[in-house]
Amino acid sequence: MSILEGLKFYAGDTAIHKLDPRVKFLVSMLMLLMVVMYTEAWILVTLMVVQAAMAYAAKVVRRWLKTIKGSIPLAVLVFGLNAIFFITTGTHATLQEVLYHSATLAYRLVLFLSSFSIFFLTTTPEEIGLTLTSWRIPYPYTFAFISAIRFTPIIAQELRDIMDAQRSRGIELDKGGPLQRAKKLVPILVPLLANALRRAYELAEAMEVKCFGATKNRTSLRELKMRSRDYAALLVSLTLFSLAMYSRLFLL
């Protein structure tokens, strides 16, 4: 569940927090494209160092590391599946090459999750909503996306609390075979589902009280405006990405 900590906003007064959310999203997308373009280990390590520097500048290193820690099981799964695929398809690659390519693909998944983790950790749900609205995305879809981001960490925390409560009552969740473990999930999923339905009902009532969807021309208390630091960050990001693209196409 620690991977969901990367979806929860962490308040701060840093330069990263103050950047325009559109710029932060673009930076995350550029990192994702670089992860897709490159398979060289040293470049991927360099991207991880850049992300670590950004997390340090935003003072969210601990939460960013929780996202990486939570992504390790997925990375191990990707590593195992790719290693099995390379071996069973009869490729002429050596064992060292198979392990290298499998580890690289798994590491790219970690980079993808960690780059967007910094975006969500330093961007409020309100700013994300304003960003999507500025891109002409219909507000009902924006509201659904923002609600999912806001409630996902809350549901994850409730799940941990319910599991701890059931363990305190003597239910051993980590013992037994797969079928026994599946049966033990019933006293966890039932209260979790009940809480989720209750929260959805309360949210629907609040939306009705506030006349959600009564008018199509919505206004916002805050408007996104690009400042000099945003243009500077955008220029640096695009310049570095252009150099990376040139290196990929003509030098490597």
Same domain flag for 14 and 103 = yes
* Other Cβ atoms closer than 10 A to 86: 17
Q: Which domain holds residue 42?
A: 2-123+225-251
pLDDT of residue 245: 85
Question: How large is the average pLDDT for residues 72-77?
Answer: 88
Q: Is the pTM of this model over 0.85?
A: no
Same domain flag for 65 and 153 = no
pLDDT of residue 1: 56
Reported as a pLDDT band with limits 50, 70 and 90, residue 219 is confident
Residue carrying structure tokens 């309360």: 202
Question: How large is the average pLDDT for residues 120-127?
Answer: 87
Over 70: is that where the pLDDT of 41 sits? yes
- Backbone φ/ψ region at 50: left (φ over 0), alpha (ψ -120 to 50), beta: alpha
pLDDT of residue 12: 85
Same domain flag for 26 and 99 = yes
Structure tokens at 52: 């670590």
Distance CA 66, CA 217 (A): 40
Over 80: is that where the pLDDT of 89 sits? no
pLDDT one-digit tens code per residue, 95-110: 788 888 888 888 888 8
Same domain flag for 108 and 157 = no
Over 90: is that where the pLDDT of 72 sits? no
Q: Are 182 and 37 in contact (CB under 8 A)?
A: no
Percent of the chain, pLDDT > 70?
A: 95
Over 90: is that where the pLDDT of 231 sits? yes
pLDDT of residue 104: 86
| CA distances for 79 relative to 36, 46, 84, 119, 122, angstroms | 16, 21, 9, 26, 30
pLDDT of residue 103: 87
Q: What is the rounded average pLDDT for all residues in the chain?
A: 84
* Other Cβ atoms closer than 10 A to 156: 17
Residues 6 or more apart whose Cβ sits within 8 Å of residue 122: 9, 10, 12, 14, 16, 17, 19, 24, 58, 60
pLDDT of residue 235: 93
Whether 81 maps to a domain, the answer reads: yes
Distance CA 224, CA 22 (A): 9
Over 70: is that where the pLDDT of 244 sits? yes
pLDDT of residue 6: 65
Domains held by the chain: number: 2
Displacement of CA 222 from its chain's centroid (Å): 25
Same domain flag for 53 and 174 = no
Greater confidence, 118 or 172? 118
pLDDT of residue 239: 92
Same domain flag for 240 and 199 = no
Over 80: is that where the pLDDT of 213 sits? no
pLDDT of residue 5: 65
pLDDT of residue 4: 65
pLDDT of residue 2: 58
Same domain flag for 81 and 117 = yes
Whether 203 maps to a domain, the answer reads: yes
